[in-house]
Amino acid sequence: MDRSGHAVALGRPDYPATTIAMEESLTLVWPSARWADLVERMPLLAANALKTLGQRVQDAHTRIREVSTEEIERRVAHALLRIIAQQEHAPGEAADVGLPITRQDVAEMTGTTLFTVSRILSAWEQQGVVSGGRERISVRLPAKLREIADRAPE
């Protein structure tokens, strides 16, 4: 059975997520039984896997804290900012969320309902902060979105 190197490093039989390619891609795989040999011959592979796992644990911790402590509007702002931060564009410039994303997807990422996300995004559209379409969200005023994300609780 082939598994992600990260899954093997975690002692899992499978990778705990699904990946969707945004453009034509090439996937490299190796049998999980080769993991120990590969990291022995290439310690940088293990170091990079550990770095990636550390980043993912930190991201998960951040999301758990957000869901536990932040108002929903701030959580939605943080989710959109995380997505656009992964894309290549100048800081502060308007940015399309570069993948098909629905309001339901945003609701699931932020631990809330579709109705709540729709209400928030509609209000932001009226303010010019975002614009949207079918499976698309464009952040028009990233600085305003950052202001919402960083706003102190009321």
Q: What domains sit in the chain, N to C, each tagged with a CATH number?
A: 1-16+31-69 (no CATH), 71-150 (1.10.10.10)
What does pTM read for this prediction? 0.66
- The stretch 5-17 carries a mean pLDDT of 66
Give percent of the chain above pLDDT 90.
27
pLDDT at position 121 is: 95
The per-residue pLDDT for range 56-68, each reduced to its tens digit, is: 888 878 778 777 7
pLDDT at position 7 is: 66
The residue with greater pLDDT, 11 or 122, is 122
Q: Is residue 71 scored above 60 in pLDDT? A: yes
- The stretch 82-99 carries a mean pLDDT of 67
Residue 82 sits at the vertex; the CA angle it makes with 84 and 63, to the nearest 5 degrees, is: 160
- Tokens at 113, concatenated: 């309902």
With 0-12 CB in 10 A as exposed, 13-18 as middle and 19+ as buried, what is 38? middle
pLDDT at position 8 is: 65
The per-residue pLDDT for range 107-129, each reduced to its tens digit, is: 998 999 999 999 999 999 999 99
Instruction: Report DSSP state, residue 27.
Output: -
What is the three-class DSSP state of 132? strand
pLDDT band at 1 (very low <50, low <70, confident <90, very high): very low
pLDDT at position 88 is: 65
Q: Is residue 74 scored above 80 in pLDDT? A: yes
Structure-derived torsion over alpha carbons of residues 18, 2, 50, 88, reported in degrees to the nearest 10: -40
pLDDT band at 85 (very low <50, low <70, confident <90, very high): confident
